[in-house]
């Protein structure tokens, strides 16, 4: 017997869970469907940053020096699989084009309208879910080994403050030691004070999912790839059908899109993390990005999470955690890490679009089909914002953000 719902949300990462919560809170009967439990895939492994300062999405490097650096495939922050280049080259070419300064600035003007709501929407959802204490209003730190890097980033942050209201504090080496006494080898830092952080991103997603169920929503294990027009999905409890369907499947959204006739321009940036103990007496109060090497140290419930930059590879290619091995000794230079807590590195895949903006909105060729994917490095940051925006569009409410820049039709 087929179970009927007002909406099926496919994918239980931070984006799908946020969409499901907002729809259920607006009186829709929602089934949230995933093959795994909420927050186990890409949403599990990020750095725990809710990036209010992230008005400029991460661009493709365009200087000759940077391109030569990365071409050698030994940089700590960016690696690639040579065997994947023929497949990903068209995406990279479009990404490079959109990263031109003028185009990047135009993208930021649209992107900022999402980013500016990221902290307030998370705090609202966490409060409603009864887990406000899982979000820390601590800000995060971008730290520098080189004075030239610090000067460049200070100029950029001042532009962000002038144009987008991004708040920050600047520290010299002594000032940084005052707020993070166990860091060393750094000439200074910026702290983005309006950003929030999360000590267990996967647990936050599960808490939002539990709130969805408390509201009356239904969480079901099933094969989202089985979606057929009508909108019907095969699940562990039998077939379910919805009046509307939302594809929030992260790096797998393109697979389902192709089945339905859409060629979403999605690629992935894979990333890795490992947890380490801190040496006795050492403490880290903020997530800290080593801006000169592109890795993050983040205090998490499990230990100090060391996250890597980007690996350009096919989504399902074998894991190659060489970046973890490359950045671990660099991390030990600035913070007294102890031994590893994990047996092996975790890997996830960030779903990316060539213009660095997510896809949020209706499918152009199907009625009552919606897409919410392609959030790249800012999935955790933009989850509740996207959830609210999709829910408002589906229910016919006035969107709190203009959704036009994120429409599928822009491709």
The answer to whether position 51 is within a domain reads no
**Judgement on whether residues 33 and 169 belong to the same structural domain of the protein:** no
The answer to whether position 49 is within a domain reads no
Number of domains in the chain: 2
Mean pLDDT, rounded, for 208-230: 97
Q: At residue 1, does pLDDT exceed 90?
A: no
Report pLDDT for 43: 87
**Judgement on whether residues 261 and 151 belong to the same structural domain of the protein:** no
Q: What is the pLDDT of residues 326-379, one digit of tens each?
A: 999 999 999 999 999 999 999 999 999 999 999 999 999 999 999 999 999 999
**Judgement on whether residues 340 and 300 belong to the same structural domain of the protein:** yes
**For residues 235 and 232, what is the distance between their CA atoms, to the nearest angstrom?**
10
pTM: 0.97
Report pLDDT for 46: 93
**Judgement on whether residues 249 and 364 belong to the same structural domain of the protein:** yes
Mean pLDDT, rounded, for 13-33: 98
**For residues 376 and 56, what is the distance between their CA atoms, to the nearest angstrom?**
12
- Looking up residue 26, the CATH number of its domain turns out to be 3.50.50.60
Q: What is the pLDDT of residues 158-188, one digit of tens each?
A: 999 999 999 999 999 999 999 999 999 999 9
Residue-range definition of the domain harbouring residue 311: 58-102+135-195+267-352
Q: At residue 282, does pLDDT exceed 90?
A: yes
The answer to whether position 113 is within a domain reads no
The answer to whether position 226 is within a domain reads yes
- Looking up residue 339, the CATH number of its domain turns out to be 3.30.9.10
Q: Give the Cα-Cα-Cα angle 351, 357, 362 (nearest 5 degrees).
A: 85
Q: At residue 64, does pLDDT exceed 90?
A: no
**Judgement on whether residues 290 and 375 belong to the same structural domain of the protein:** no
The answer to whether position 110 is within a domain reads no
**Judgement on whether residues 92 and 211 belong to the same structural domain of the protein:** no
**Judgement on whether residues 188 and 327 belong to the same structural domain of the protein:** yes
Q: Give the Cα-Cα-Cα angle 278, 305, 213 (nearest 5 degrees).
A: 125
- Max distance between CA atoms of the chain, in angstroms, equals 67
**Judgement on whether residues 11 and 38 belong to the same structural domain of the protein:** yes
3 band by pLDDT with thresholds 50, 70 and 90: very high
- The torsion of the CA quartet 5, 249, 406, 20, rounded to 10 degrees, works out to 40
**Judgement on whether residues 159 and 77 belong to the same structural domain of the protein:** yes
**Judgement on whether residues 243 and 360 belong to the same structural domain of the protein:** yes
Q: What is the pLDDT of residues 184-213, one digit of tens each?
A: 999 999 999 999 999 999 999 999 999 999
**Judgement on whether residues 175 and 254 belong to the same structural domain of the protein:** no
Q: Could you tell me which of 2, 36, 49 has the C-alpha nearest to residue 271?
A: 49
Tell which of 305, 334, 352 closes a domain. 352
**Judgement on whether residues 152 and 258 belong to the same structural domain of the protein:** no
> Contacts for 260-263 with beta carbons within 8 Å, 24 or more apart?
260/227, 260/229, 260/363, 260/366, 260/369, 261/365, 262/363, 262/365, 262/408
């Amino acid at each position: 017997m087929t179970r009927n719902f007002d909406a099926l949300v496919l994918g239980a990462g931070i984006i799908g869970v946020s969409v499901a919560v907002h729809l259920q809170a607006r009186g829709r009967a929602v089934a949230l469907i995933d093959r795994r439990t909420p927050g186990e895939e890409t949403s599990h492994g990020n750095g725990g940053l809710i990036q209010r300062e992230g008005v400029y999405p991460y661009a493709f490097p365009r200087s000759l020096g940077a391109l030569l650096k990365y071409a050698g495939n030994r940089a700590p922050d960016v690696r690639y699989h040579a065997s994947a280049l023929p497949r990903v080259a068209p995406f990279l070419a479009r990404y490079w084009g959109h990263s031109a300064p003028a185009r990047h600035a135009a993208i930021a003007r649209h992107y900022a309208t999402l980013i500016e709501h990221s902290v307030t929407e998370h705090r609202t959802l966490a409060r409603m879910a009864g887990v406000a204490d899982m979000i820390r209003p601590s800000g995060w730190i971008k730290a520098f080994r080189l004075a030239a890097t610090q000067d460049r980033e200070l100029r950029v942050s001042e532009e962000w403050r002038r144009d987008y209201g991004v708040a920050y504090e600047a520290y010299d080496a002594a000032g940084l030691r005052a707020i993070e006494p166990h860091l060393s080898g750094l000439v200074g830092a910026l702290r983005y004070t309006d950003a929030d952080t999360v000590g267990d991103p996967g647990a936050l997603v599960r808490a939002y999912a539990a709130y969805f169920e408390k509201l009356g929503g239904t969480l079901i294990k099933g094969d989202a790839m089985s979606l057929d027009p009508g909108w019907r999905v095969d699940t562990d409890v039998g077939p379910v059908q919805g009046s509307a369907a939302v594809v929030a499947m992260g790096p797998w959204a393109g697979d389902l899109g192709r089945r339905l006739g859409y060629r979403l321009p999605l690629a992935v940036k894979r990333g890795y993390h490992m947890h380490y103990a801190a040496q006795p007496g050492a403490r880290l109060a903020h997530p800290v990005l080593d801006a000169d090497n592109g890795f993050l140290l983040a205090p998490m419930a499990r230990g100090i999470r060391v996250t890597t930059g980007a690996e350009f590879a096919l989504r399902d290619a074998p894991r190659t955690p060489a970046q973890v091995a490359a950045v671990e000794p660099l991390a030990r230079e600035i913070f007294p890490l102890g031994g590893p807590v994990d047996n092996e590195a975790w890997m996830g895949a960030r779903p990316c679009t060539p213009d660095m903006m997510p896809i949020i909105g209706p499918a152009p060729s199907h009625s009552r089909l919606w897409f919410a994917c392609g959030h790249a490095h800012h999935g955790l940051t933009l989850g509740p914002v996207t959830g609210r925006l999709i829910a408002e569009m589906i229910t016919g409410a006035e969107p709190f953000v203009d959704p036009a820049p994120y429409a599928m039709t822009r491709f």
